[in-house]
Structure 1
């Protein structure tokens, strides 16, 4: 799994922990689901009622990482990361099999976060997270990927689900439409996203459509086209009532409310008023509303505790010096921002630094990228330890 894009000024994100209070780490629990069917009200913030569940797969990765630490104080701090709620990435057809076991220990007070991420021609503007489905394989996406997920979620009506829909896909069509790979992927992206949100529109599900971040669609010239692109998908999917808005800063580095922004002194800063994610959420929301789409947001704070680390907005891969950010909480201080959440599992690589690898992307070899780094989605122990040591607030 990765983050975003190839170059173009309008990219990537800054990092800083949000100032609002964090929630207490949730203890691991064995109780599963509720005693009756869950109905999520899309007109209200689900994270006010439900705690993002610390899914077993990330907990297992963190537990294995703790076992490698010889420093007892660092190990004790690392162990606490396992109890932080995070999203589970369903980024291949095979990984659909993770949903059932991930459900086993979700109590009625929690909501299980899933990232829906397997479009044909995925990651059209970069190489690190190219997917398994080729351009044109939209029928496979629908029948072998989305349909089985829908069946599973329907089979568990007593569990609440929060879904992030297809990171990077529609934002790529806004800013990378000149790339042949994105031109070729466009029809499948639009069709696939519409199909996904239409069919995943279940009473126990709340959905957020990925909208990049302030350093990407936040540029003045991208705001309206970005909102229109997302709204078209929303309407093509039948305007599903369980879609509440957008996800921003997925796997990103942008600060929530750093002022002035990380790139506020850049020569082109005058063309982007969205110098942090708060400004982006508040600025993009009216554009979404005008385009006819719900406009609440969740913001990924999983790795945005430090700023000033990147050479430019577009540097997205394994940023060196990063730290875990604010824990998941609905206390954002902004009515439009439902919650700070951990979407990207901190410790899993964004992409390999091995320039001879098939999926090597030059962004993973830049001076501000951590090295060495394994393939996207693979655990990087040293990077995890860095995130832990640089965490704000600390563990």
Structure 2
């Protein structure tokens, strides 16, 4: 890949602004769902909160300059995204919109997948250990040793969002690894179920997405876009009208920033491949790297691969990633904190003959799906469940 010059980076962010403006003009505005914190960092039944994450290191050739999140946001707003809010990142490798689909997997994820030493599982392990909960701390520590995606959503205000993105990238770049992010802020998220919330409307969502894109631009990253958003159109069409167009605007903004995106495509036992392919096309998969399957679910890799290959063929050869975070024991009859589930195979970048780019841990194993099967609120750490996942993990 080439390096992004300040001029090129300016053009990228102009593209972000253009895509955002177009999206704001066209996107409908559904009603706001009840807010929730789906990825809060507290331990279920824990008498003490999880300690805040330590500030990640920012050294290294491609680390961002030491400006505050507030200044970055002010620059983003005041410039109207007409030039880079952070010229110091211009030395990072870039992926142009034309090469997002064709870049070899080994280059897209050069250096391998990033492990965040300040991630949710690592912080939880520290807290549980301090409380003398040895077995639960050990399970959290086992999970923390693997690359797990970083989720971004409405539980972070703008300043926290910038700090989270910049810190995660700086940590990954210090060791030459590639981080994976998840955007989870679509209006009427989860059809008002356990993980309800998201942006108030499409305009707010697209502004939020543009801020995310502006911080990712110029860095080697990958993004999984809005788990369940397209699949849930089957469940609550009255709340999800026009969602494909909203996602298409968000994906275009990411693409203009050179960010490879994987649009969530449900799983092998939800929406038929041809139906999902049509939704992905409407959601701008031609501008994305491809799609993701099995996010937060339990279906075996081979079932997901067979489904994904059908979707890929129907979308012109889109690449895909599969979430293996909890599929080590296969489907257990429920999606919500399924009893008997286990960790799947460790995340890895693929280079085989199929269109599979990577096996990822997109869902944070140990984070609750919601108040079901004994779990706490969605996103809260479910310590006893994490112990079960580790105990039942897949071999290899």
TM-score by length of 1: 0.70
Contact 2:324 2:346 in 1 (8 A): yes
Contact 2:246 2:283 in 1 (8 A): no
Return 5+ residue gaps in structure 2 as ranges: 1-36, 40-55, 64-90
Change (3 A) 1:341 1:212: same
- Superposed, which structure 2 residues align to 1:275-314 within 5 Å? 276-289=303-316, 294-307=317-330, 309-310=332-333
Cα deviation for residue 48 of structure 1 reads 5.4
Cα deviation for residue 193 of structure 1 reads 0.6
The equivalent residue for 2:8 is none
Return 5+ residue gaps in structure 1 as ranges: 4-27, 258-275, 353-363, 365-369
The equivalent residue for 1:101 is 167
Contact 1:300 1:343 in 2 (8 A): yes
Is 1:142 matched with 2:161?
A: no
The equivalent residue for 2:277 is 227
Q: Distance in 2 between matches of 1:121 and 1:284?
A: 25
Structure 1 window deviating more from structure 2 (326-335 vs 206-215): it is: 326-335
Q: Distance in 2 between matches of 1:375 and 1:281?
A: 31
Q: Distance in 2 between matches of 1:31 and 1:339?
A: 28
Q: Distance in 2 between matches of 1:338 and 1:252?
A: 18
What is the DSSP-based 3-state SS (H/G/I as helix, E as strand, rest coil) of the residue aligned with 2:223? strand
More helix by share: 2
- Superposed, which structure 2 residues align to 1:220-259 within 5 Å? 222-234=272-284, 239-240=286-287, 243-257=288-302
Q: How many corresponding residue pairs?
A: 304
Contact 1:51 1:85 in 2 (8 A): no
TM-score by length of 2: 0.69
Contact 2:194 2:377 in 1 (8 A): yes
The equivalent residue for 2:260 is 206
Contact 2:126 2:137 in 1 (8 A): no
Q: Distance in 2 between matches of 1:319 and 1:32?
A: 42
Cα deviation for residue 70 of structure 1 reads 5.2
Contact 2:368 2:381 in 1 (8 A): yes
Cα deviation for residue 33 of structure 1 reads 6.0
Q: Distance in 2 between matches of 1:152 and 1:48?
A: 18
Q: Distance in 1 between matches of 2:295 and 2:38?
A: 9
The equivalent residue for 1:165 is 225
Cα deviation for residue 195 of structure 1 reads 1.6
Q: Distance in 1 between matches of 2:139 and 2:367?
A: 18
Q: RMSD value over aligned CA atoms?
A: 2.8
Change (3 A) 1:172 1:76: closer
Cα deviation for residue 78 of structure 1 reads 4.7
What is the DSSP-based 3-state SS (H/G/I as helix, E as strand, rest coil) of the residue aligned with 2:232? helix
Change (3 A) 1:323 1:67: farther
The equivalent residue for 1:53 is 114
